[in-house]
Amino acid sequence: MTAPLLGRQELATDVLDAAHRLLGCTVEADTPDGPVAVRLVEVEAYRGADDPASHSYRGRTPRNTVMWGPAGHLYVYFVYGMHFCANVVCLTEGVAGAVLLRAGEVVSDVALARARRPTARRDAELARGPARLASLLGLGREHNGVDLTDPGSPVRLLAAPPVPLESVRSGPRVGVAAAHELPWRFWLDGSPSVSQYRPGRNATVRAV
């Protein structure tokens, strides 16, 4: 990919602003099969101490320490004993916050993406949902803490012009029991890769 990397300073801001800025940007990862890239079409914001749905709500732990910054790093966690999910750290260093990467559209070699996600029935499903997105990009524990703003990183965040506000929709967060009603999930209107909404009232696992 030839686009410039998104600068750290553009992510060192409130999670809601960072979530909107991430829409339309591209995450590019080096996998054993070759580079795979997805354009972000759906994200979900989480703050720290004032957000009971966040991993950082009860303070810093060895697991969530990446969330305290600096901005622009990748926070990867394992959920339900089977999936990895990826988040972009934002806010200023020392203040926890991150944006969950919920869905993307493949903008690299589609044949390679299909080979990596052979169970996907349609191209729109290759990176629809946070676990599928992380799986397609090959993200795991070894990527927790990598710097997305570093050109030498195995995972990079490529900039795109901010999407117009009229192209963005928002709604409740997915799969969380606490503060699920907050409209902090953002997506690009009309994208077929946006994940299906399922209310999370009975969920017992925090998202990020």
- 93-146: pLDDT as tens digits: 989 999 999 999 999 999 999 999 999 999 999 999 999 999 999 999 999 999
- 7-61: pLDDT as tens digits: 999 999 999 999 999 999 999 999 999 999 999 999 999 888 788 767 776 778 8
Decide if 106 contacts 38 (C-beta within 8 A).
Answer: yes
Q: Report the SS3 class of residue 56.
A: coil
Q: Is the pLDDT of residue 206 over 60?
A: no
Q: Report the SS3 class of residue 122.
A: coil
Q: Report the SS3 class of residue 151.
A: coil
pLDDT of residue 57: 67
Angle, alpha carbons 37-189-18 (nearest 5°):
60
- What number is the average pLDDT over the span 173-197? 84
Decide if 155 contacts 74 (C-beta within 8 A).
Answer: yes
Q: Who has greater pLDDT, 129 or 208?
A: 129
Decide if 99 contacts 164 (C-beta within 8 A).
Answer: no
pTM of the model: 0.91
Domains plus CATH for the chain? 8-188 (3.10.300.10)
